[in-house]
Amino acid sequence: MSRPYRIVCVVAARPNLVKIAPLLAAFQPPQTQVETVLVHTGQHYDADMDAQFFNTLALAEPDFRLQVGSASHAVQTAEVMRRFEPVLDQLAPSAVLVVGDVNSTLACALTAAKKQIPVLHVEAGLRSFDRTMPEEINRVLTDQLSELLFTSEASGTSNLLREGIPPHRVHFVGNVMIDTLLGQLPRAPSTASVLRQAHLAGFIGDGAHYALLTLHRPSNVDDPRRLRALMTAMVKLSEDLPILFPLHPRTRAMLKQHELASLLDAPRIACLPPQSYLNMLGLMKHACVVLTDSGGMQEESTVLRVPCLTLRENTERPVTVSEGSNAIAGRDPAVILALCRDILRYGGKSGRIPQYWDGHAAARIVTATTNWLQTRRERRA
Ligand code: UD1
């Protein structure tokens, strides 16, 4: 039997898959009368960045694959819009649901808004106040285009209200990424088993300490001087603590292009290919410190209560610092090293878990969305 409402859900890049999984599950009948249609823009396409995540998260094959691939921001955004528009024409959905802040998030929100199709934004309101980050531009614009805005932390709500979004559109629901984490954590492997898979069995001894490092922000990896400084600091740190470093394809390419790949030969730095979701959870859970420029890992380490040092000058997720286990380390190698050594000596902060990061964010979003759909239908009748 056909259902009265249809919502097109968009995914594009690794973190989007982690965010959409609990939402698709929560919209399933008999909980709702909403039919979901999954559109994958193809921004991430390598098996390591994509297919593996579908398997682990038990996501159904997307209904549409737009296969946009990599390109400049303008071309990628334009190409998503060009390929998404006919999908909307064909489906005439009640709404389009987008998550996060990647280029495809904005592209699909803009395509829908121009067609008067309401946009629902999950993870709305986060602000780094740094417009040099492409994601900040995507966040601000997507929020301006959205009809319902779901925030993951209180700062998101206050940012939106300050930007003039009417309060009735904003719902503080918590963090869908944490819904997935709490569901999947029992399946996360040990570090020893991840290292065995990577043929690095002897790299760290049983139960030994290590740091987990990830880098992929253009502001860190595209500028050769910055990348060299950060990697030199990591080589120094590795003398105190072995480092596991899953390499994002952008970072691998930049290290090669800038002739910095030899820095990876340090004996106590182990490079790994992009890891599956469960492997990443296992590596994070058992690390003594996480060093990262990823937004998602700041949140995940907060819930795992593992100290995190963010290798950026700011964060759009301030609750991970004010309540969680995160600290902004910036990019100065001396500061990063000093903070790491403090954590090694004194243990670092474990923090507490923010409000509504409790595994029920998707259920709150589904309740707010179905209420909104019904009210809208009654008003139109
Ligand atoms: C994108 C998001 C970023 C998010 C990240 C998660 C934007 C602006 N950025 O960054 O917010 O944190 O995803 O990983 O949307 N590549 C591959 N295989 C792939 C995908 C990418 O080799 O499957 C390479 C390509 O050379 C590409 C580069 O990585 O040019 C960057 O990919 P892109 O999707 O543009 O951005 P990310 O850096 O992954």
Q: What are phi and psi of 334, to 5 degrees?
A: -65, -40
* Helix (H), strand (E) counts: the chain: 16, 13
Is the pLDDT at 328 greater than 90? The verdict is yes
CA 171 – CA 156 distance, rounded (Å): 10
Parallel/antiparallel/unpaired status of strands 211-214 and 170-172: unpaired
CA 204 – CA 291 distance, rounded (Å): 18
Residue 122 gets which letter from DSSP?
Answer: E
348 class by beta-carbon count within 10 Å (0-12 exposed, 13-18 middle, 19+ buried): buried
pLDDT band (50, 70, 90) for residue 318? very high
For ligand 1, atom 33, which residue shows the shortest CA distance?
A: 70
- Tokens representing 240 are 């105190």
| Region label for 354, one of left (φ > 0), alpha (ψ between -120 and 50) or beta (otherwise) | beta
pTM: 0.96
Following DSSP, what letter does each residue of 216-266 receive, concatenated?
--HHHHTSHHHHHHHHHHHHHHHHHS-EEEEPPHHHHHHHHHTT-GGGGG-
Every domain of the chain and the residues it spans:
5-174+357-380, 190-346
**What Cα–Cα distance (Å) separates residue 111 from each residue in 41, 83, 104, 144, 170?**
13, 10, 10, 13, 21
- Model pLDDT, residue 1: 53
CA 237 – CA 143 distance, rounded (Å): 40
H/E stretch holding 123: strand 119-124
CA of 296 to the centre of ligand 1 (A): 14
**149 in helix, strand or coil?**
strand
- Tokens representing 342 are 């403090």
Q: Which CATH architecture has domain 190-346?
A: 3-Layer(aba) Sandwich (3.40)
Nearest in space to 302 (alpha carbons), one of 314, 319, 315:
319
* 295 Cα nearest atom in ligand 1: 12
CA 230 – CA 212 distance, rounded (Å): 14
Alpha helices in 153-215 (DSSP H): 154-162, 176-184, 191-197
CA of 42 to the centre of ligand 1 (A): 10
For ligand 1, atom 5, which residue shows the shortest CA distance?
A: 13
* 13 Cα nearest atom in ligand 1: 13
pLDDT band (50, 70, 90) for residue 206? low
Is the pLDDT at 319 greater than 80? The verdict is yes
Q: Which residues are catalytic?
A: 216
* 134 Cα nearest atom in ligand 1: 8
**pLDDT by residue (tens digit) across 265-314?**
999 999 999 999 999 999 999 999 999 999 999 999 999 999 999 999 99
CA of 5 to the centre of ligand 1 (A): 32
Q: Check pocket membership of 365 for ligand 1, CB cut-off 6 A.
A: no
- Calculate mean pLDDT across residues 353-363: 98
**pLDDT by residue (tens digit) across 176-195?**
999 999 999 999 999 999 99
Q: Virtual CA dihedral for 269, 270, 274, 275, nearest 10 degrees?
A: -120
CA 154 – CA 147 distance, rounded (Å): 19
Contacts of 186 (CB under 8 A, 6+ apart): none
Contacts of 89 (CB under 8 A, 6+ apart): none
CA 196 – CA 180 distance, rounded (Å): 25
Contact 84, 66 (CB under 8 A): yes
**pLDDT by residue (tens digit) across 133-169?**
999 999 999 999 999 999 999 999 999 999 999 999 9
Domain 5-174+357-380 in CATH: superfamily?
Answer: Glycogen Phosphorylase B; (3.40.50.2000)
- Model pLDDT, residue 39: 98
Q: Mean pLDDT of all residues in the chain?
A: 96
How long a stretch of residues is the chain? 381
CA of 297 to the centre of ligand 1 (A): 16
- Tokens representing 94 are 């009640």
Q: Check pocket membership of 136 for ligand 1, CB cut-off 6 A.
A: no
68 class by beta-carbon count within 10 Å (0-12 exposed, 13-18 middle, 19+ buried): buried
Q: Check pocket membership of 273 for ligand 1, CB cut-off 6 A.
A: no
Q: Check pocket membership of 216 for ligand 1, CB cut-off 6 A.
A: yes
